Amino acid sequence: MGNEGILLERLSQWTISGIGLHPGGSNYVFVVRLIDPEATQELQSSRVEMKGHQIFAIYKPQSGERPLRDFARGTLHLREKAAYLVSRELGWPRIPPTVIRAGPHGEGSVQLFIDAEKSQANSENYFSLREKRLEDFADIAMFDILVHNADRKAVHASSHLMAACGLLIMD
């Protein structure tokens, strides 16, 4: 199993042990900590860094979706995973691994959290990258048309991250 397969398995099966509401979204978005269920109880309850035994993810529960006129009710979490699958098949743009699973607020999408602090993004956003990454943004716009993503905005500074492996996109 490759790295992506391992990540998908962890996103699907690891225990959600911490949750915090991410501010600023129109829907409920949570940052969650996923812990290896095979890690010892002592390790899980300690404040010691659990390197290799935890990952962070973005959890968007169906129950926290705000109804929209132009989308079927309760489908945002499914569209998050569908966008990931389409991007993986096409090879563009890069969307972090995403699964559907049960969480503290019911079924939802769980997507690998990409830490902007550790990426090359820092203060980069559409406006600062526009000239040098115009072709990439054209690809992202075409992808959004393909998957009917109507909520990407240029002001979402965190929607586009420069990682070591290239431009990543998120909502």
* Domain spans of the chain, in order of start: 1-113, 115-171
Q: What is the pLDDT of residues 23-63, one digit of tens each?
A: 877 899 999 999 998 875 655 555 555 667 899 999 999 99
Looking only at the bridges linking them, the beta strands covering 98-103 and 106-112 are: antiparallel
Position of tokens 């998050």?
A: 80
Cα torsion 52, 9, 89, 165 to 10°: value is: 0
User: Which residue type occupies 57?
Assistant: A
Q: What is the pLDDT of residues 87-142, one digit of tens each?
A: 899 887 788 999 999 999 999 999 999 876 655 555 666 677 778 888 877 777 77
Give which of 163, 171, 169, 24 is closest to 88, Cα–Cα: 169
Position with higher pLDDT, 91 vs 5: 5
Q: What is the pLDDT of residues 67-90, one digit of tens each?
A: 888 788 899 999 899 999 998 998
Position with higher pLDDT, 14 vs 91: 14
Which residues are within 8 A (CB) of 133 and not within 5 positions of it... i.e. 6 or more apart?
160, 167
pTM: 0.78
- Give the CA radius of gyration of the chain: 16
- Per the CB < 8 A criterion, the answer to whether 34 and 55 are in contact is yes
- The confidence band for 156, taking pLDDT boundaries of 50, 70 and 90, is very low
